[in-house]
């Protein structure tokens, strides 16, 4: 086991702004506290909340690192008191509350998952955030069942590509919305049953036509704004709409009579501020129900591009271009 250095390179947010505010700096390597582990980072996923934090609209929760980065994969190099799930030298992937854009990162021992041989370390760095977001929102909150239909907005995103795979693995029919033919083709290759180009056709009418008029049972939405009322129009009776982001804005005007007549459930969640106990419970469910599929190679992240840590600004530019299909990852 290598000796852990005292200093590390990190990518910090110098001030709220565009990608150019992501700048490398030297910091002290943190020491793990009770029930924590220190990971020597090999790969760190780039996610929309990182972009929001950089721009100043998504501050880290109390006690979390001020550095961006919500998922990492690497080697366990130090253990805090009470950390017994993993041991020194283990290769793990983990959700973190911040601090992923760094050579070393603290994680909760209970939230880390052993990297299976079916995944490269780069793929492992792209997995925890999407896996936990999709599992909790589609299956725990949205209660998607085999035989039901799910409509996934943003089907070619990191979340979308993971949701396609999981929904298909559990026997559901998948419709996605995308903004280009390339993205539609990528989703269909991944297993989606139908891809709607929202720029060319109305997704409400298209989803109803695909489902012979009944509408999808579950809708996974990261847009919000004017999609809220359109989701109410599209959804099946007793449908479940799960809100995971608000790219189209946090406010909406909606006809709530439709919510009542159709007996709809509209729920939502954010992952980062959740308690460690909540996240550990999600990890336990994923280890039991999803990791067997990952080990079999049936579930794996779709990789768009990789950038070295010091090029984090370019990774953010790639994400903000909206052209990516799947996950963007920093290599450390």
- Each residue of 230-274: pLDDT tens digit? 999 999 999 999 999 999 999 999 999 999 999 999 999 999 889
Return the closest-CA partner of residue 144 out of 161, 163, 157.
163
Q: Where are the domains of the chain?
A: 7-127+274-331, 131-268
Residue 196 has pLDDT above 70, yes or no: yes
CATH superfamily, region 7-127+274-331: Medium-chain alcohol dehydrogenases, catalytic domain (3.90.180.10)
CA 208 vs CA 36, 83, 212, 253: distances in Å: 48, 50, 6, 22
Residue-level pLDDT at 1: 66
At 285-303, the pLDDT tens digits run 999 999 999 999 999 999 9
CATH architecture of 131-268: 3-Layer(aba) Sandwich (3.40)
CA distances 153 to 46, 113, 244, Å, are 19, 28, 11
How much is the pTM?
A: 0.95
Q: State yes or no: pLDDT of 44 exceeds 70.
A: yes
How confident is the model over 110-132, as a mean pLDDT? 98
Residue 161: strand, helix, or coil: helix
């Amino acid at each position: 086991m290598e000796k852990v250095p005292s200093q590390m390179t990190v990518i910090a947010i110098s001030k709220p702004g565009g990608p150019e505010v992501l700048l490398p700096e030297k910091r002290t390597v943190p020491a793990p506290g009770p029930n924590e582990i220190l990971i020597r980072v090999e790969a760190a996923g780039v996610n929309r909340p990182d972009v929001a934090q950089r721009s100043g609209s998504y501050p880290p929760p109390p006690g979390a690192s001020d550095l961006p980065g919500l998922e990492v994969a690497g080697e366990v190099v130090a253990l805090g008191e009470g950390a017994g799930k993993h041991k020194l030298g283990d290769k793990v992937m983990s959700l973190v509350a911040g601090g992923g854009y760094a050579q070393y990162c603290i994680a909760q021992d209970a939230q880390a998952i052993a990297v299976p041989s079916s995944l490269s370390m780069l793929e492992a760095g792209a997995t925890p955030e999407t896996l936990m977001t999709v599992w909790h929102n589609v299956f725990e909150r949205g209660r998607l069942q085999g035989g039901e239909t799910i409509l996934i907005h943003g089907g070619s995103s990191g979340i979308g590509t993971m949701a396609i795979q999981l929904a298909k693995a559990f026997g559901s029919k998948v419709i996605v919305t995308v903004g280009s033919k390339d993205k539609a083709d990528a989703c269909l290759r991944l297993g989606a049953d139908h891809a709607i180009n929202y720029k060319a056709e109305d997704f409400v009418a298209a989803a109803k036509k695909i489902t012979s008029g009944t509408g999808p049972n579950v809708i996974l939405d990261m847009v919000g704004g004017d999609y809220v009322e359109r989701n109410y129009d599209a959804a099946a009776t007793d449908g479940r709409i799960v809100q995971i982001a608000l790219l189209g804005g946090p406010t909406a005007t909606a006809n709530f009579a439709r919510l009542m007549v159709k007996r709809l459930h509209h729920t939502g969640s954010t992952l980062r501020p959740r308690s460690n106990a909540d996240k550990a419970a999600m990890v336990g469910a994923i280890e039991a129900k999803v990791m067997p599929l990952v080990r079999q190679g049936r579930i794996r992240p779709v990789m768009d591009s990789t950038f070295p840590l010091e090029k984090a600004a370019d990774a953010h530019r790639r994400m903000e271009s909206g052209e990516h299909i799947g996950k963007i990852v920093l290599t450390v």
